[in-house]
Amino acid sequence: MKTNETQKELGQRLTQLRKRKGLSQEELAARVQLSRPSLAQIELGNRGINIQEFQRFAEVLEFSLDDFVSKDFHASAVETLVDVQGTQQIQERISVPKLQVAKFKEVLLYILERCAGKPNVGETVLYKLLYFSDFNYYELYEEQLTGAKYRKLPFGPVPQKLDQIIEQMRGDGQLERIKTSYHGFSQTRYFPLVKADLRTFKASEKEVIDRVIEQMSDWSASAISDYSHKDIPWLATKEGEEINYELAFYREAPFSVRNYDEREEE
């Protein structure tokens, strides 16, 4: 097996064991005395592991080096937890977003309130502003902003159930939809008819949304789509599948929005 292929496989095994242990990247990195970006590179298969690091991983994740490098490796056979009754339990840290419809509506209204007057902000730009608001907030705080699920489609990440939510909001007189033309292309635009209730936002939530709006709301549909196509969560997802929020922790500049502690490695 080639070296880069071996590194990728070992990185995948570490990822499986970390999740089964219920640890975030930041938590595991601290325990094995690495920086979070270094651990991310190891899990992606872009960085090797020396013997001292292997020993620290083995101690924290409770595996033997022989089992770990075996061609018959399986995470569930290596790492399990046992409760006081002796029943095997497996803990895995997975982001399972649950759509908060009321919060999603308020975020949508707020973005439209700030951006609907801009001629470039049609559906494509709007979808990306929602996506980056959700994923940037998750990367920063490891909590869901709206809990919306996004699917990888050819023009970029698209929030699921948006059509149903918009129809509800139109029926409730919260927004209107119009068809226009922009630079010779058909465009669907939305305009808020009521103001967002900012009392439903945490200060941190509004701050993240504002940063996304300031950075990207003037971009063209093609520019923001191209940018989203270079984001790790979109790149690492198969066409048509749901994008896992956990992939936000593998981002690098300029997409990463979190200041990780760059500790010196041994």
Q: 89, 115, 133: which is the final residue of a domain?
A: 89
| 116 & 167 share domain | yes
Q: What is the pLDDT of residue 80?
A: 40
Q: What is the pLDDT of residue 111?
A: 98
Amino acid at 1: M
CB 244 within 8 A of CB 95: yes
| 72 & 181 share domain | no
Amino acid at 48: G
CB 150 within 8 A of CB 157: yes
| 114 & 232 share domain | yes
Distances (CA, A) of 51 to 27, 55, 58, 84: 20, 6, 10, 34
Residue 75 lies in a domain: yes
Q: What is the pLDDT of residue 3?
A: 56
Domain count, the chain: 2
Q: What are phi and psi of 53, to 5 degrees?
A: -65, -40
pTM for the structure as a whole: 0.71
Residue 243 lies in a domain: yes
| 85 & 105 share domain | no
Give CA torsion, residues 239, 241, 242, 245, to 10 deg. -60
What CA–CA distance (Å, rounded) separates 109 from 86? 51
What CA–CA distance (Å, rounded) separates 183 from 96? 39
Do you find a cis peptide bond into 254, omega within 30 degrees of 0?
yes
Range of the domain at 136: 101-250
Residue 95 lies in a domain: no
Residue the block writes with tokens 């509506």: 105
Beta strands at 150-153 and 88-89: parallel, antiparallel or unpaired: unpaired
Q: What is the pLDDT of residue 22?
A: 85
Q: What is the pLDDT of residue 83?
A: 36
Q: What is the pLDDT of residue 4?
A: 60
pLDDT digit string (tens) for the chain, length 266 residues: 455 667 888 888 888 889 888 888 888 988 999 888 788 888 888 888 888 888 888 888 888 877 787 776 765 544 443 333 333 333 334 456 889 999 999 999 999 999 999 999 999 999 999 999 999 999 998 899 999 999 998 888 989 999 999 999 999 999 999 999 888 888 999 999 999 999 999 999 999 999 999 999 999 999 999 999 999 999 889 899 999 998 898 888 899 998 755 443 44
| 46 & 147 share domain | no
| 235 & 145 share domain | yes
Q: 43, 66, 89: which is the final residue of a domain?
A: 89
Q: What is the pLDDT of residue 78?
A: 46
Distances (CA, A) of 53 to 60, 66, 77, 232, 264: 11, 15, 22, 26, 13
Give the chain's length: 266
194 closest CA partner among 174, 208, 215, 170: 174
| 83 & 108 share domain | no
What is the three-class DSSP state of 191? strand
